[in-house]
Structure 1
Amino acid sequence: AVGCDVLAVPTGTDGIEAIREKTFDLVITDLRLPGTDGLSVLRTAKGKESQTEVLVITAHGSVDTAVEAMKLGAFDYITKPFQMDELLLIVERVGSMIMLRRENQDLKHQLEEKFCFNGILGANSQMRAVLEKIKLVAETDSTVLIVGESGTGKELVANALHQNSARKGYPLIKVSCAALPESLLEAELFGHEKGAFTGALRQRRGRFEMANRGTLFLDEIGEISPVVQVKLLRVLQERTFERVGSNEPIETDVRLVCATQKDLRKEVAQGRFREDLFYRLNVVPIVVPPLRQRQEDIMVIAEHVLETCSLKLNKHLRGFSQQARELLLRYSYPGNVRELENMVERAVALGRDQAAVQPPDLCGFQSCPYLGGVQQESCGFCSEGLTGGKKKKDATLTALAAARESFEKDYIVSVLERVDGSRTTASRILGLSRKALWEKCKRYGIPSAHGDGGGGD
């Protein structure tokens, strides 16, 4: 075919060796070959790269071999004798499909680059600004103070800062300051000598030593005591510290990242946090907005978590029902992203395979109040009065969600048009099962002119 680079080999064994050494877009193999058969070539090609397409040719065609080849992932099956134009037509179809598949992958990568960074999802303008700030600050050694409510993803920000810095080859050490009392926190941060206090049976390195040349993440920094505040200030000023029970200074080269859900300026004003330490920590502030201020991100995050949890739990759920979407978009998420993630994971666990997520799956109650059931005391949706006298205003799909759906519909239509309505070929390009493509066509009202209207070609 015009524009194709072709490698020809005389035996099936040579073909398998070539496939192992190089990746091909299309493999054309006879079924009967010297050395090994065409089905072995097919298995090798699909085993190495699932997106390599394989065309099987044979003069010994039978229903059994055709079915076996298609089950193994063959793109098509052609019997001798055939016209060369017939073969070239199939090659052109494969070329068009590969080109469209790559365009689709490029679009996905563009979306990921725009809305995702190191696991942090954000289509909202505030979150996009946060992501851009993380990318800029990560390359520096500046101290960063991450501020945000519980569950907003402050630890993910710390991870992203470390993984995109020059220190990524060294440890990222994390300490929850709220989880330890003052005496233990001091020893945890700076280490201690043997016999420094009751129970100190041997010398122990602290987190500052363990994080040397890397990053130290101090979560809930607003909870540390005045004594620890003084010692932390000294480390930041002098880049040295002493283990508990020792007077010998130890130098440290650590990038410090802190997080808090408290307003440290108010803590300073009320005398609970040192002003000089606050300014040392607040070199680069990053404020992570709560989820209730990022409605555009709700379905982006929910769909991502649905896909991830479905794979983990080996389930195949068909997205969210319209009622489930409305429920998710109405809620205020006091637990922020963490609560949304837990909610979707619950929906995957409770949801029926091959079905869309329904409101009872999200709230965990089959007598879901959203569907007219009895209100449940432990249901967050109930507590916000989604039923009864204090209903909140119905939420519509956000501009982003509507734009995504419009783009998806247009893209499916364009792919179907370019493959002459073949839903089998289109589903391969789009990375969907034929049934999933049929469901999307039905949902978006794509007419049967683009397929047979029943999910088959």
Structure 2
Amino acid sequence: MAPAILVVDDEKRLGEVLAAALTERGFETTAVSSAAAALAYCEANAVDLVLTDLRMPDRSGRDLLLALKEGRPDLPVIIMTAYATVRGAVDLIKDGAFDYVAKPFELDDVVATIERALKIRAVVNENARLRMELEGRYCFDNLIGESAPFRNVLQQVGEVAQSRASVLLHGESGTGKELIARAIHYNSPRREMPFIAVNCAAIPETLIESELFGHVKGAFTGATSNREGRFSAADGGTLFLDEIADMPLSVQAKVLRAVQEQSFEPVGSSKPLKVDVRIIAASHKDLQKAIADGAFRMDLYYRLAVFPITLPPLRERHDDIPLLAAHFLRRAAQEMGKKIDGISLPAQEALAHYGWPGNIRELQNCMERAAIVARGPVIEPKDLMLFGPEAPGASAQRALPSDLDGELERIEREFLLEALKESGGVQARAAERLGITERSLWHRVKKLAIKVSRVAEPHE
């Protein structure tokens, strides 16, 4: 649908000519001859941008700008004026105008300004939509669980979210520490500002200082330009330091100062930068033991653990397993375009009696895999991948996989190859055989780099 442009000019004929010219350029354009008519039109119609003359007899373009911004602050307004001065232009921009064009003007210049304004508006609106989606995803109502241990966690999150206090999350791998960190951020006064996550265990020791604090050009070999660090990127918002126990001691001292003083120097610079950052840290390791072993600074621990929260493992959230399993299954089936009605009682019992060493992450992977391999409308025990002695029918000798995601990918690949082989490489028939849509199968074939021919085979 073409963007809707409203042209406002007291010289009616000029406004109509400009509107006609913009219509020829692909815009849906309407012209009115006064600020009052413009306000009435915007009240009754969808308008994407207003292009208004500055000097008009009833109310000026500036008056119109201020009135529009009061009710529609996101609506771009471009001012047309034959009296353009630098000072006047600056004042208009301060009042909320997107830009101005000086009369007489070339139509191409006006169109370029309009397109720039609409593009920026689209980006701003998309960012706002994504932010609202994130806030909705991490609101308390969408955090799944009714067990007493999880309700206790939610209570603590509610208590600390509105404060500025640093938070230390502790829990086994896969218990949802980043999910809780995001919930704290998106339920805090900082929700409109960035949430920046850093996995300290995933960054080489030689790079982590630069990653956190940035560097200036020439700070070290390869530093060909200035680079912003994660502390600066999180200014005004929240910095989530995951796996904080894996941070080198040499960097811990600088992090301590940054947390205490809300300032730091980029690598290679002596000029301090001030920031306003809330810290949420997390670890699955015992930080008290790390302190005793000399691997973690005690002063940094106490600075981070102003409000500690311990996340319970899934085996202690027994009542939440059916809720989480149903949630992950529903989401996986929806993404695949596959109709799955639920989980059979035997499969529910298998899930309930399993120990979940990989916690919520393992349950999510399990349900995604079950959605892939299920041949019927209900998940059965044979569709579940449960490892170790606690798994139904498993021997005590069966070992846990060292790479669960890789193991799931291997199994998914095997099923896809088998279905493609049975169907002679015809993807529509293979998708039907697996109970998924052809589009879903195509995405999975592409993701796993499977070469489809008369007989399906993986890329070498």
* TM, length-normalised to structure 2: 0.55
Structure 1 residues 209, 116: closer, same or farther in 2, change over 3 A? closer
**What's the counterpart of residue 367 of structure 2?**
344
**What's the counterpart of residue 387 of structure 1?**
393
**What's the counterpart of residue 24 of structure 1?**
none
Q: 2:381 aligns with which of 337, 359, 362?
A: 359
Whole-Å Cα distance in 2 between the matches of residues 276 and 283 of structure 1? 11
Determine helix, strand or coil for the equivalent of 1:299.
Answer: helix
Whole-Å Cα distance in 2 between the matches of residues 213 and 123 of structure 1? 33
Q: 1:207 aligns with which of 230, 238, 245?
A: 230
**What's the counterpart of residue 136 of structure 1?**
159
Cα displacement string for residues 362-391 of structure 1 (whole angstroms, at most 9, x for unaligned residues):
12xxxxxxxxxxxxxxx50x5436337879
**What's the counterpart of residue 212 of structure 2?**
189
Structure 1 residues 388, 247: closer, same or farther in 2, change over 3 A? closer
Determine helix, strand or coil for the equivalent of 1:352.
Answer: coil
Which amino acid is 2:382 matched to?
Answer: P
Whole-Å Cα distance in 1 between the matches of residues 141 and 336 of structure 2? 23
**What's the counterpart of residue 257 of structure 1?**
280
**What's the counterpart of residue 233 of structure 1?**
256
Which amino acid is 2:263 matched to?
Answer: T
Determine helix, strand or coil for the equivalent of 1:151.
Answer: coil
Structure 1 residues 387, 270: closer, same or farther in 2, change over 3 A? same
Determine helix, strand or coil for the equivalent of 2:375.
Answer: coil
The total of aligned residue pairs comes to 262
Q: CA deviation at 1:286?
A: 0.8
Which amino acid is 1:244 matched to?
Answer: V
Cα displacement string for residues 200-247 of structure 1 (whole angstroms, at most 9, x for unaligned residues):
110001111110001000100010111111001111221110000000
Cα displacement string for residues 303-347 of structure 1 (whole angstroms, at most 9, x for unaligned residues):
111222221111221211111011101111111000001101111
Determine helix, strand or coil for the equivalent of 1:152.
Answer: coil
Q: CA deviation at 1:249?
A: 0.6
Which amino acid is 1:192 matched to?
Answer: H
Q: How do residues 39-438 of structure 1 correspond to structure 2 at under 5 angstroms? A: 117=140, 119-353=142-376, 355-363=377-385, 380=387, 382-384=388-390, 386-387=392-393
Determine helix, strand or coil for the equivalent of 1:304.
Answer: helix
Whole-Å Cα distance in 2 between the matches of residues 388 and 207 of structure 1? 45
- After TM superposition, the structure 1 stretch with the greater mean CA deviation from structure 2, 222-231 or 312-321, is 312-321
Asked if the contact 1:119/1:156 (under 8 Å) is kept, the reply is no
Whole-Å Cα distance in 2 between the matches of residues 244 and 385 of structure 1? 50
Whole-Å Cα distance in 2 between the matches of residues 140 and 172 of structure 1? 16
Which amino acid is 1:135 matched to?
Answer: G
Q: CA deviation at 1:155?
A: 0.5
Structure 1 residues 134, 388: closer, same or farther in 2, change over 3 A? closer
Asked if the contact 2:350/2:391 (under 8 Å) is kept, the reply is no
Structure 1 residues 195, 390: closer, same or farther in 2, change over 3 A? closer
Cα displacement string for residues 6-31 of structure 1 (whole angstroms, at most 9, x for unaligned residues):
xxxxxxxxxxxxxxx9xxxxxxxxxx
Whole-Å Cα distance in 2 between the matches of residues 218 and 388 of structure 1? 38
**What's the counterpart of residue 9 of structure 2?**
none
Q: CA deviation at 1:117?
A: 2.1
Determine helix, strand or coil for the equivalent of 2:206.
Answer: helix
Structure 1 residues 388, 225: closer, same or farther in 2, change over 3 A? closer
**What's the counterpart of residue 61 of structure 1?**
none
Determine helix, strand or coil for the equivalent of 2:384.
Answer: helix
List runs of 5+ in structure 2 lacking aligned partners. 1-43, 45-135, 398-460
* TM, length-normalised to structure 1: 0.55
Whole-Å Cα distance in 2 between the matches of residues 149 and 156 of structure 1? 14
Q: CA deviation at 1:292?
A: 0.8
Structure 1 residues 175, 390: closer, same or farther in 2, change over 3 A? closer
What is the aligned-residue RMSD (CA, Å)? 2.1
Asked if the contact 1:222/1:273 (under 8 Å) is kept, the reply is yes
Determine helix, strand or coil for the equivalent of 1:134.
Answer: helix
Structure 1 residues 155, 230: closer, same or farther in 2, change over 3 A? same
Asked if the contact 2:166/2:307 (under 8 Å) is kept, the reply is yes
Asked if the contact 1:146/1:260 (under 8 Å) is kept, the reply is yes
Q: How do residues 4-15 of structure 1 correspond to structure 2 at under 5 angstroms? A: none
**What's the counterpart of residue 101 of structure 2?**
none
Whole-Å Cα distance in 2 between the matches of residues 346 and 189 of structure 1? 36
